[in-house]
Structure 1
């Protein structure tokens, strides 16, 4: 293996994961148009985004096992092909259910790609460059989701939202050709058997919990069914965790959380991703549904923040290598909490779009300064032999936090609107205020936890 050329080895993984992360949020700006074309409401439309997060999150634990069981190249071509197939299905499908199926297949491929990407990077880059290597991961995980709403806004203004899927296919195919020449097998393989009961418990648990929370935000849904789904989801998650603690080769090794530094970094990462996904979801909905901006205008409004998020993710990795984690995390969360508070206070039916765009830029800068260092800190806090377990664990909980965060925020917004005594747009503004105040509290919690990190 060409250890002196790690960038070439991971090039196809970088592109594939950028596309996978891009598709997480690319539908955010397109949702209003899709709702009109497909005849669905916000609750159903949200599932086109949520199911992608959920499927990816459920797949990641299995990916941790598969990375050790199969070759790097074999897993890459399988997952990238699944992503391509899901993209094609979603693009050509005529109704909501079939598009949802395409998104599920996309999520399966993306869920395998991200832990493979992160584990491969940690194996081919030297330890002294871990911050810079995490910066590359941060660039993908930060820039791509932030860029998604911008690109989709530019496209759906003049064209069908289906172009979002069609345009991706040639790039995916070209990247498969690149991987055929550049990607190499790294790491050792093992022969442990896959525990299918664990897969059943995790899939049922997380899907049930997410479905129940989504039902709770739907005024037409039965509260009994919603409560039953939430309780059953929690039950299966508990069963899943208990089983992992007993297995010699668990899908996710929860013993990692005995490490205080890893646990704190994981919680901070969860809070960070809730804020990022929430802002990327709520702001396009506000500017289009309340202010009447077009998808293109909405996308252009988010573009500067998306670009700066990518830049700061790379820069913060180098800062982490030199100065450590505490200073950059505290500064980043202070900025995020302050901006979230300002948005909560100033948001109204006639708020300045320019000021909101500037605040979004500062919010993305704060997120970019935290994303890479907190990931690098989490990976550096575990032993080398546990990296293969730490990577999928980190991605799993962040993916599930993203999906749960989106559903919870929409539920908070919808419940507030439904129980409001006012008509549109006042009731919708009350919903947005409730959601943004929730994001502010999440950011403040992250700031408080950053003071408990040990080390520099």
Structure 2
């Protein structure tokens, strides 16, 4: 197998083509996450299914990624960079093809699950490759470029899909992605090189089973709670089973000599701090991106396309800022970016607590841009700081841990904020003298939104407190005088 041996020589690797190959693949896969949101009403009519059924197109996508990402750490030690990335993109292409020609809902859902398998495999590979091919002092800029894609692609998704759906049928959302996915496969086949060191550890099937039940149960339970309520046994039992499985999973990883997800990454304090910080920030980000379209379409009576357009400027600004914050990180370190960034995020959330049914479109665009500037100053610098502290043999595990917890935090944040909003709206309408009046319904939604954003502000302040403890880190590999590029990795400690 390619790339096997004690180490891969990175001294002659051309970084540019590798980064371009990763960016094209990531853009295509991540764009797809939000591309379908505007098409859900059309798909409900096409396949004659209910809202709770159609939601599975989004829930299953998140669920598969949440289940698959933890396993990628061990997969990256068995398969080369090329094998992992090309497999991911081929799966994504096949899933897109199935979805494009789906004759019924079940086939479309199958296509989405296959797409999600590709996306779940690719994201950790992308981040791990950046860590391996760039020395710590240049990683900020490279991670910033990835940040551009990770934030820009989902931001333009609703706008692009709105444009397509205005003039073409929903299948074009998949037809137009097919050539992009094919180009990504061909480009990666030509230019992507193997950079991973293969150790082929023993695979513990029980760990994978516990991880799947654990992360799957938590993501599924929280995702369903917004739809069927917290009191439904399906919600609380899946969350309970998920948490129990996760406790057993963690316990097993600590006992194994070659764990599926090496939790020794948490022995590094800056990695632990940043992981908690990002969990909190991602809860706020995901929930805001869910609440705002609901508010704009429910209270301001915008179309899906117009609400997508309203969120576009913030997404574009975030995409532009990500590489800039990466370069600033390389020069000045994380604290100069993370703390001011979190202050900006808190200010934006506080401004959101004052919006109502008379708020202008321009004001929402302004607050959203302010929030996205703050997020771009936090995300990649914090992530790079945490991962920089790890020794090279823990890179696949560190990236898998961060990506998994971000998926879980997205599911928890979205469910938590939607349930706060809907419960507060119900309370308002139950006390209203005319609950059937559309104006009262809008006011109820605003009341719910305010409650959700006040909770969001409290979470944002918690993130800000954590941000004061973030500082520049060095890998133990550097301390040992081992060069980041092309040198053998340190022997793995036996526990």
Gaps of 5+ in 1: none
Say which is worse superposed, 246-255 or 327-336, in terms of deviation.
246-255
Tell me the CA shift for residue 418 of structure 1: 4.6
More divergent stretch after superposition (329-338 vs 69-78): 69-78
Is the partner of 1:242 in helix, strand or coil? Answer: helix
- 1:135–1:315: 8 Å Cα contact kept in structure 2? yes
Alignment pair present for 1:435 and 2:442 = no
Aligned length: 455
Structure 2 unaligned regions, length at least 5: 1-9, 474-495
**RMSD of equivalent CA atoms:** 2.3
User: How far, CA to CA, are the matches of 2:283 and 2:467 in structure 1?
Assistant: 16
SS of residue paired to 1:69: coil
SS of the aligned residue for 1:376 comes to: helix
Alignment of 1:254-269 (within 5 A): 254-269=263-278
The one-character-per-residue Cα deviations of 1:225-247 (angstroms, maximum 9, x if unpaired) are 32222211111111111111111
Equivalent positions of 1:26-425 (< 5 A) are 26-35=35-44, 37-38=46-47, 43-219=52-228, 223-346=232-355, 348-419=356-427, 420-421=429-430, 422-423=435-436, 424-425=441-442
**2:188 match: secondary structure:** helix
8 Å CA contact 2:333–2:471 kept in 1: the answer is no
Q: Where do 4+ consecutive residues of structure 1 move more than 6 Å?
A: none
Answer yes or no: is the 8 Å Cα contact 1:150–1:303 preserved in 2: yes
Using the alignment, how far apart are the partners of 2:450 and 2:47 within structure 1?
A: 28
Q: CA deviation at 1:98?
A: 3.5
How does 1:4-43 map onto structure 2 within 5 Å?
Answer: 5-35=14-44, 37-38=46-47, 43=52
Secondary structure of the 2:77 match is helix
| 8 Å contact kept, 1:210–1:407 | no
Counterparts of 1:183 and 1:310, CA distance in 2 = 24
Which secondary structure state, in structure 1, belongs to the residue aligned with residue 353 of structure 2?
helix
CA distance 1:6–1:151, shift in 2 (3 Å)? same
Q: Does 1:449 align with 2:466?
A: yes
Worse overlay, 21-30 or 325-334: 21-30
Distance of 1:253 and 1:304 partners within structure 2: 39
Deviations 1:315-358 (A, max 9, x none): 11111111111121111111111111111222x22211111011
Distance, in Å, in 2 between the alignment partners of 1:425 and 1:382 is: 49
Distance in 2 (alpha carbons) for counterparts of 1:217 and 1:6: 43
What's 2:489 paired with?
A: none
